[in-house]
Amino acid sequence: MKSIVRILSIILFLPLCAVAQDDYSFDLAEIEKKPYAAGGYLEVTPRLFYTDPDAAFYTLNFYDRADKDWLDEYFLKLSMDGRYTKGLSEIYARANINTTESDVDSDTNIVLDEGYLSLKPASGFNISLGKKALRWGKGYAWNPVGFVERPKKPDDPELALEGYWVATLDYIKSFSGPLKTVAVTPVILPVYDHVNTDFGERDTVNYAGKLYLLLYDTDIDFMFLKGGSRPFRFGMDFSRNITPNFEIHGELARIDNSVHRVVRSDGTLAASTGDAESFLLGIRYLTRTDTTFILEYYRNETGFTGDEMDQFFGLVQDGIDLYRQSADETLLKRARAVTEGSYGKQNPMRDYLYLRVWQKEPFDIPYFIPSVTCIYNMEDKSFSLSPELFYTGITNLELRLRAGFISGPGNTEFGEKQNDFRLELRMRYYFDVLK
Amino acid sequence: MKKLFVLMALCFLFPSPASALDGNDLLLRIDRNLNPDSYEAYKKLINIEPSGKKKEFVLFTVKKEKDKVAALFVSPASEEGRSTLRLGENMWLYIPNVGKPIRITSLQSVVGGVFNNSDILRLDYTAEYDVKTVEEEGGNYLLHLKAKTKTVAYDQLKMWADRKALLPLRIECITEASMLVKTIYFKEVKDFGGGIVRPSVIETDSPLYKGYKSIMIFANIKERKLDDEVFTLTFMPNLDSLR
């Protein structure tokens, strides 16, 4: 705790030193490019949770622990990135050290998010080899066409993601006329015992590709993924400004022979196979008073139905009843086994609405952006509501205060979450090491 | 009557300098004096609050022809690696964490303060405006510009330009409803080499942001031949390779 207070004071003190310097000079040393660069950020996030002891996910996490009404958690992250450029080649790496201290858990891990070699023989040609985060799709909260990336967190979609080990290239060609740009991005993604193990079935090589067009001022992408690790899938996305302040976007993905695994209320597993289509439609609108709205509808056919979620919640309820009667953990362990990456993932069901509204610099406070985000499960009518205050007025320091109200009746996605309320303050200080 | 006829004939034969100029030609010459057709430059943006507090950003920018501009944030560390691209009225922002470009609008500001995206990713004036009239005022030209389309950030501009150097001195940005939203002042003409002599400092203030001021300082403006492929979404993460 002491060390966290110390780090906090460093974070708050450093930028005040930076504010003290002032003149309008433009020192050319500021723009000198060196062959190497390194920097990153230090992030401290204290969090406070108010738990819901009747919720299924609280039961799963706390049935063998002492009850807690309030939980506090301290998250510390050091993210470092660096690059070295020589001639046409560049090596880039980004790694994180993450430490979480909480009432129930402590964990430290080091993750290499990205680390790759790039060769750029021409403006329109770029080859990359290594671990790289490829981000496909136009959706803000969800990306059904994100075939070669890890799923993002819809309640924090701008977080950097860990990449996969890939070989990829970009080939770009520009034209005059209605078709202004064509870009092709083929990707090879191997999955073996120590490479991309969490992507899917092992001992196979997957091939993916994306074709980008800027046609009649509309961004259009077509993409596919083929290989043994995941079923064949293809899709497209688009984005276009109807007016300067009104943008529409969408994604459509089809997965052939998608395997849908569900758990029954007695704990047995069942699987079915079928084609699944998912899509997203969204708008982004900026008013004259600098209020921005993002509204998205997401239909995820690979998600669970209300009945399937009911069966899972029934399993947890039966599990806790059995545990209380005879200390038998069998059913709860079965429920836990299907939680991670499945029933316990963010937004595991089929129909969602996402709304984010933010106001730029209200009350004449520069660099201050209040916002509110709502994720609404259309099937079970549960939702999360997250008001947020974001301030970037001090050079290199970002402060974000965010609350989360999670609401819904029993047997609904948000109603069965572990917490009813969450409050967090994220303090992030950016720095350069080699400038 | 005879005298009047002679006077009229003289007027036609020897028109005043302002009316002799084609406004759009004049604007094109101002564009070319401000920067070459295709170039690279560094810009420092300074946002100054009424309290005197400042926030600075340094950008590397490249431009080609009338309507292709890209910019990369070089500092501060929190913005480093962000890039913006403009192709005509299409604008995108690339944030390294987000990992893919998103569409933005000319009316927003990626840096806060008085400069908006269209000021930072400025196209040639001739790309967005037609000259309606040219007047002479105090020994300078006063050009009245009207946006070619509704999608341009400011509907009208009043541009005062130095008659000799053909460089802007001051521009007033006016909405369709004739409301002044911003005044841009061009200062400190500097020889950047390669025949580029232009204002090195641009200052702006706005009645909508009372007491706030934003300043743009130019450095290292150089003519540069650039591939069209540089001005594409796919190239945005690689803009730093041009430096």
> What CATH number does the domain containing B203 carry?
2.50.20.10
According to the model, what pLDDT value does residue A349 have?
96
Cross-chain Cβ contact A31/B220 below 8 Å? yes
Cross-chain Cβ contact A28/B44 below 8 Å? no
Confidence band, pLDDT 50/70/90 cuts, at residue B2: low
Distance CA A399, CA A404 (A): 17
Looking at residues B166-180, what average pLDDT do you find? 94
According to the model, what pLDDT value does residue A266 have?
84
According to the model, what pLDDT value does residue A296 have?
98
**Chain B interface disruption, residue of A25, A28, A31, A432, most B CBs within 10 A:** A31
Cross-chain Cβ contact A366/B227 below 8 Å? no
Kindly write down the DSSP assignment for every residue of A131-143, as one continuous string.
EE-----S-SS--
Residue B69 lies in a domain: yes
Cross-chain Cβ contact B103/A31 below 8 Å? no
Residues of chain B contacting A161 with CB distance shorter than 8 Å? 99
**CA torsion angle A360 A146 A345 A81 (round to 10):** -70
Task: Establish if B175 touches chain A: CB-CB under 8 angstroms.
Answer: no
Q: Is the pLDDT of residue B196 over 90?
A: yes
Q: In angstroms, how far is the first alpha carbon of chain B from the final one?
A: 69
Average pLDDT over all residues of chain B: 87
Residue A72 burial (CB count, 10 A) = 13
Q: Is A310 helix (H, G, I), strand (E, B) or coil?
A: helix
Residue B107 burial (CB count, 10 A) = 16
Task: Establish if A269 touches chain B: CB-CB under 8 angstroms.
Answer: no
Residue B2 lies in a domain: no
Task: Establish if B93 touches chain A: CB-CB under 8 angstroms.
Answer: no
Is A368 within 8 Å of A361 (Cβ atoms)?
yes
Extract the runs of DSSP E, i.e. beta strands, from B162-212: 168-174, 180-191, 197-205
Residue A45 lies in a domain: no
According to the model, what pLDDT value does residue B234 have?
94
Task: Establish if A432 touches chain B: CB-CB under 8 angstroms.
Answer: yes
**Chain A interface disruption, residue of B42, B57, B98, most A CBs within 10 A:** B98
Residue B165 lies in a domain: yes
* Domain count within chain B: 1
Residue B35 burial (CB count, 10 A) = 21
Task: Establish if B71 touches chain A: CB-CB under 8 angstroms.
Answer: no
Cross-chain Cβ contact A134/B99 below 8 Å? yes
Distance of CA B226 to the CA centre of its chain: 20
According to the model, what pLDDT value does residue A27 have?
80
Looking at residues B143-158, what average pLDDT do you find? 91
Sequence-separated (6 or more) residues with CB below 8 Å from residue A235: A144, A145, A147, A222, A223, A224, A251, A252, A253, A254
Cross-chain Cβ contact A395/B108 below 8 Å? no
According to the model, what pLDDT value does residue B5 have?
53
Q: Which two tokens stand for residue A45?
A: 């996030």
Task: Establish if B188 touches chain A: CB-CB under 8 angstroms.
Answer: no
Residue B204 lies in a domain: yes
According to the model, what pLDDT value does residue B21 have?
64
Residue B61 lies in a domain: yes
Residue A224 lies in a domain: yes
Cross-chain Cβ contact B238/A120 below 8 Å? yes
* Alpha carbon separation from B49 to A119, A256, B52, B183, B203 (Å, rounded): 43, 56, 5, 17, 13
Contacts across the A-B interface (CB distance below 8 Å): 151
**CA torsion angle A321 A325 A326 A329 (round to 10):** 20
Residue A32 lies in a domain: no
Amino acid letter, A204: T
Taking the CA atoms of A119, A122, A124 and A125 in sequence, report the sign of the dihedral they define: negative
Q: In angstroms, how far is the first alpha carbon of chain A from the final one?
A: 32
Using DSSP bridges, classify how beta strands A419-432 and A397-407 pair: parallel, antiparallel or unpaired.
Answer: antiparallel
At A384-418, the pLDDT tens digits run 999 999 999 999 999 999 999 999 999 999 999 99
For residue A369, give the CATH number of its domain.
2.40.160
Taking the CA atoms of A51, A52, A57 and A59 in sequence, report the sign of the dihedral they define: positive
Residue A88 lies in a domain: yes
Task: Establish if A6 touches chain B: CB-CB under 8 angstroms.
Answer: no
Residue B131 lies in a domain: yes
Residue A1 lies in a domain: no
Task: Establish if B107 touches chain A: CB-CB under 8 angstroms.
Answer: yes
Residue A228 belongs to domain spanning: 52-432
**Among A residues 104-123, those touching chain B with beta carbons less than 8 Å apart:** 120, 122-123
Residue A7 lies in a domain: no
Cross-chain Cβ contact A245/B107 below 8 Å? yes
According to the model, what pLDDT value does residue B175 have?
92
Percent of chain B predicted with pLDDT > 70: 91
Distance CA A16, CA A396 (A): 10
ipTM of predicted complex: 0.88
Cross-chain Cβ contact A28/B220 below 8 Å? yes
According to the model, what pLDDT value does residue B151 have?
81
* Domain count within chain A: 1
Residues of chain A contacting B89 with CB distance shorter than 8 Å? 217, 241, 244
Task: Establish if A435 touches chain B: CB-CB under 8 angstroms.
Answer: yes
- Give the gap in angstroms from C-alpha B35 to the nearest C-alpha of chain A: 19
β-pair partners for A249: A239, A282
**Chain A interface disruption, residue of B56, B234, B243, most A CBs within 10 A:** B234
According to the model, what pLDDT value does residue B3 have?
54
Residue B210 lies in a domain: yes
What parts of chain A have a pLDDT lower than 70?
Answer: 1-24, 435
Crossing angle, helix A330-337 and helix A306-326, to 10 degrees? Answer: 150
According to the model, what pLDDT value does residue A51 have?
94
* Alpha carbon separation from B73 to A68, A120, B219, B236 (Å, rounded): 46, 20, 14, 12
Residue A33 lies in a domain: no
- Give the gap in angstroms from C-alpha A159 to the nearest C-alpha of chain B: 6
- Give the gap in angstroms from C-alpha A19 to the nearest C-alpha of chain B: 7
**Chain A interface disruption, residue of B228, B236, B239, B242, most A CBs within 10 A:** B228
Residue B4 lies in a domain: no
Residue A289 lies in a domain: yes
